[in-house]
Chains A and B, each alone.
Chain A
Amino acid sequence: MMTVKAARDELLRVERIRKHFGKRSRIRKVSRVVHAVDDVSFEIGRGEALGLVGESGSGKSTIARCVLRLERVDDGLIYLDGVELTRLGSRGLREIRPRMQAVFQDPASSLNPRWPIHQVIEEPLRVHGWGAAERRDRVLEVLEEVGLSHRYLNVLPHQLSGGQQQRAGIARALVLRPELIVADEPVSALDVSIQAQVLNLLVALKKELRLSYLFISHDLRVTRHLCENVAVCYLGNIVEVGAGDALFTNPLHPYTASLVSAMPLSVEDARQRGQTIVLAGDPPSPLEPPSGCRFRTRCFRAQTQCAEGTPKLEPAGAAHRAACFFPLDPDFLRDRAAGSPGSTG
């Protein structure tokens, strides 16, 4: 087993992963390929959270599934605490899986409807060979951690509210004491007031247990709240990555700017109607991604160069990188808000 020790306290390192899904059309007799993830790299430090934001088809869920080894990458390497995951056999995987666990989007459908809550939470322990007494103690302990009362131990998932169900889902992920939590849209199915409760829980757990999160969301506000760093995905690529605040106040990539303007970060923002950047059209199909920069077909700054060459993630300031030939001025959004009419689609 290859082991690489990183300089800083790094937990997860993803290096240039690629995942394509083959799609053979029965009618046209040609095989087509979905470019789900292309050349994606990032790292997550211990106790840190990285948010992946992007729209459907951007590849963010596929990245998460590759990290969890629910999907095998076509190319690239993934290290968890120095252990390379992509080539691990079943025994190696069994050893490493307790260290990385998942929280899913829809708590109702990710809990077995016929199992009482204690059984749902206990299952990972059983799989990994914990004894009965240890299991019982650990389940009670983890219920405490997620703020779920012991009287819910014997109820079925449907008897819980949405927020409580998601707490049970988080408890199941935490029960093996993982270091990395991969959470795919964990709050987007919840009502606003419940969403805040679950976010508070995730923030508290991260601090108390020094957890790392790979947090997937389409909601920039939620991502900025929970994550130190944010990566913006578009059609299988990361187009911009950096600290949340830098990304949202001074976006460099036009796509990030349009996402930020679409999702106001404050009430004042929301009232400035003219500020919204309305992109033209839909995202292209990942079956036939555009040549060059994949965003160019909807970009308000695209030029011929964008069709010819593929922009690479270039550093722009401390830990802020963007893949764009014509990055925006740091004050782009503020200038728009001040009333200078921007070019929109």
Chain B
Amino acid sequence: MDAGTPLLEVQDLHVVVGRGADTTELVRGVGFAVRSGEMVGIVGESGCGKTMTAMSLVQLLPTGIRVSSGHVRFQGEELLGAAPSRLRHVRGAEIAVVFQDPMTALNPLQGVGRQVAEPLALHRLARRGERLKRAAALLGHVGIARSEQRLKDRPFEFSGGMRQRVLIAEALSCNPKLLIADEPTTGLDVTIQVQILALLDQLRKERGMAIVVISHDLTLMARICDRIVVMYAGQIVETGPTAEVMSSPQHPYTVALAASVPSLTTQPGQLLPALAGAPPVMTGLGPGCSFAPRCPLAEERCGRVGPTLTPVGPDSLVACWVVEERRLASGSASRR
């Protein structure tokens, strides 16, 4: 792998549920890249396919849901269609996952030390006697005080924030190069959310680990991610460096997402620019742009033909006919 190759490269990923005529596409041609040490945030509302995208990277999709086509290359190696034994090696050791909901992701009957050390045992990375020592060190590292004495404590003896730390310690146990965190702060209290985000940021800096974070909260992602990927109805509608996406969002959906959260610039009680309607049902998508029915800018052709991701900056892509048109118009004007 040379320096130019990204750590992870996803191309034209399609995820479907059902078979034959009943097939519904949940993820429709998603592609992005993650470099070493980079933190990328995938943002979208429930049902937009963000979790399905992330779970297809490690092929941990729920029963009945499968990847129908596309590429997932990790350090240049194709993971889709790789042998199960190879995948078992990659999962946990190279790519680790912090699952949603710290309340249910741990085994309630087992001490946390053994759970944190379990990947070490599975990947035969440490001897039995050494594992718990490593677990204690990991737990200490993620901010659990007196970790040696807490190894035998069960998950119920920890608070929500502490359980999330335990899950992060487990994910870190084999020193992965890529960490996938699915809604790592959802359900946690505000002050605890800040602690977990600070921890992820610190870990990434210390270890040079890449992190893909999935969240529905755009402002939360803005404070820790280098790049943001916005998804809607199974597709990427906009992606770019955080500063650009946040300061000048292009796609009407991103604009609406950013504007629909009250901020210091909105007057209390003023009408929020809320999107009408609800996200589409994935079974009844037409040929055009799936955002068109709710889009304030929609034109006639948006309903007929779906736009493709087009560069709007050095590292930014947007899928919108109207944005592209405006760009072309202003581009030709400035050349004159």
Q: Which residues of A contact B (CB under 8 A)?
A: 55-56, 161-164, 191-197, 199-200, 203, 207, 218, 221-222, 224-228, 244-245, 248, 258-259, 261-267, 269-271, 273, 276-279, 282-283, 298
Name B269's closest neighbour in chain A (CB-CB): A203
Asked if A225 and B223 sit within 8 Å, CB to CB, the answer is: no
Name B187's closest neighbour in chain A (CB-CB): A56
> A258–B190 Cα gap in the complex (Å)?
9
Asked if B224 and A271 sit within 8 Å, CB to CB, the answer is: no
Total A-B residue contacts, Cβ distance less than 8 Å: 123
> A298–B222 Cα gap in the complex (Å)?
26
Over the window 236-251 of chain B, the binary record of Cβ atoms lying under 8 Å from chain A Cβ atoms (1 yes, 0 no) is: 0000001100110000
B297 within 8 A of A: no
Asked if A161 and B278 sit within 8 Å, CB to CB, the answer is: yes
B265 within 8 A of A: yes
Asked if A259 and B191 sit within 8 Å, CB to CB, the answer is: yes
B contact residues around A276 at 8 Å (CB): 194, 198, 223
**Sampled A-B contacts (22; CB under 8 Å):** A56-B189, A162-B278, A163-B278, A164-B278, A192-B45, A192-B216, A192-B218, A192-B261, A193-B274, A194-B278, A195-B260, A200-B271, A225-B266, A227-B268, A266-B263, A266-B264, A271-B243, A276-B198, A279-B194, A282-B162, A282-B192, A283-B189
* 6 shortest interchain CB distances as A-B pairs: A196-B274, A196-B260, A225-B262, A55-B189, A191-B45, A265-B264
Which of A55, A227, A264 contacts B223 (CB under 8 A)? Answer: A264
Which of B46, B159, B219, B246 contacts A191 (CB under 8 A)? Answer: B46
Q: Which residues of B contact A (CB under 8 A)?
A: 45-46, 159, 161-162, 189-195, 198, 201, 216-220, 222-224, 242-243, 246-247, 256-258, 260-266, 268-269, 271-276, 278-279
Asked if B159 and A267 sit within 8 Å, CB to CB, the answer is: no
B contact residues around A197 at 8 Å (CB): 274-276
> A264–B192 Cα gap in the complex (Å)?
15
> A56–B287 Cα gap in the complex (Å)?
45
B contact residues around A191 at 8 Å (CB): 45-46, 216, 279
Asked if B191 and A279 sit within 8 Å, CB to CB, the answer is: yes
Distance (whole angstroms) from the CB of B113 to the closest CB of chain A: 20
Distance (whole angstroms) from the CB of B290 to the closest CB of chain A: 14
Asked if A193 and B256 sit within 8 Å, CB to CB, the answer is: yes
> A245–B219 Cα gap in the complex (Å)?
20
Distance (whole angstroms) from the CB of B156 to the closest CB of chain A: 14
> A190–B247 Cα gap in the complex (Å)?
25
Distance (whole angstroms) from the CB of B150 to the closest CB of chain A: 14
Which of B201, B220, B262, B278 contacts A222 (CB under 8 A)? Answer: B262
A276-B223, A278-B194 known; 16 new pairs, CB 8 Å cut-off, are A55-B189, A191-B279, A207-B269, A221-B261, A224-B262, A225-B262, A264-B222, A265-B263, A266-B264, A267-B246, A269-B264, A270-B219, A270-B222, A271-B242, A282-B159, A298-B191
Interface centre among A195, A270, A277 (most CB of B within 10 A): A270
Asked if B222 and A267 sit within 8 Å, CB to CB, the answer is: yes
A contact residues around B218 at 8 Å (CB): 192
> A283–B263 Cα gap in the complex (Å)?
27
> A133–B149 Cα gap in the complex (Å)?
68
Known contacts A161-B278, A197-B274, A271-B246; A221/B263 CB under 8 A: yes
> A283–B159 Cα gap in the complex (Å)?
9
A contact residues around B256 at 8 Å (CB): 193
Asked if B161 and A266 sit within 8 Å, CB to CB, the answer is: no
> A161–B280 Cα gap in the complex (Å)?
11
> A193–B219 Cα gap in the complex (Å)?
14
A contact residues around B260 at 8 Å (CB): 192-193, 195-196
Distance (whole angstroms) from the CB of A16 to the closest CB of chain B: 26
Name B194's closest neighbour in chain A (CB-CB): A262
Asked if A192 and B257 sit within 8 Å, CB to CB, the answer is: yes
> A265–B243 Cα gap in the complex (Å)?
16
A contact residues around B220 at 8 Å (CB): 270
> A163–B279 Cα gap in the complex (Å)?
11
A contact residues around B189 at 8 Å (CB): 55-56, 218, 283
Distance (whole angstroms) from the CB of B249 to the closest CB of chain A: 9
Distance (whole angstroms) from the CB of A167 to the closest CB of chain B: 12
A contact residues around B275 at 8 Å (CB): 193, 196-197
> A276–B278 Cα gap in the complex (Å)?
33
Name A219's closest neighbour in chain B (CB-CB): B190
B contact residues around A248 at 8 Å (CB): 264
Which of B194, B219, B272 contacts A225 (CB under 8 A)? Answer: B272
Name B276's closest neighbour in chain A (CB-CB): A197
B contact residues around A279 at 8 Å (CB): 191, 194-195
Asked if A267 and B219 sit within 8 Å, CB to CB, the answer is: yes
Name B249's closest neighbour in chain A (CB-CB): A267
Asked if B190 and A262 sit within 8 Å, CB to CB, the answer is: yes
A contact residues around B264 at 8 Å (CB): 248, 265-266, 269
Asked if A218 and B273 sit within 8 Å, CB to CB, the answer is: no
B contact residues around A163 at 8 Å (CB): 278
> A207–B274 Cα gap in the complex (Å)?
18
Interface centre among B201, B219, B262 (most CB of A within 10 A): B262
> A197–B224 Cα gap in the complex (Å)?
28
Asked if B274 and A200 sit within 8 Å, CB to CB, the answer is: yes
> A277–B218 Cα gap in the complex (Å)?
20
> A269–B246 Cα gap in the complex (Å)?
11
Name A221's closest neighbour in chain B (CB-CB): B262
Asked if B45 and A55 sit within 8 Å, CB to CB, the answer is: no
Distance (whole angstroms) from the CB of A25 to the closest CB of chain B: 15
Known contacts A196-B272, A200-B271; A266/B265 CB under 8 A: yes
A contact residues around B217 at 8 Å (CB): 192
> A244–B269 Cα gap in the complex (Å)?
12
> A227–B45 Cα gap in the complex (Å)?
26
B contact residues around A258 at 8 Å (CB): 191, 194
> A56–B188 Cα gap in the complex (Å)?
9
Distance (whole angstroms) from the CB of A215 to the closest CB of chain B: 12
Name B195's closest neighbour in chain A (CB-CB): A278
> A191–B232 Cα gap in the complex (Å)?
12
> A192–B19 Cα gap in the complex (Å)?
32
Distance (whole angstroms) from the CB of A165 to the closest CB of chain B: 11
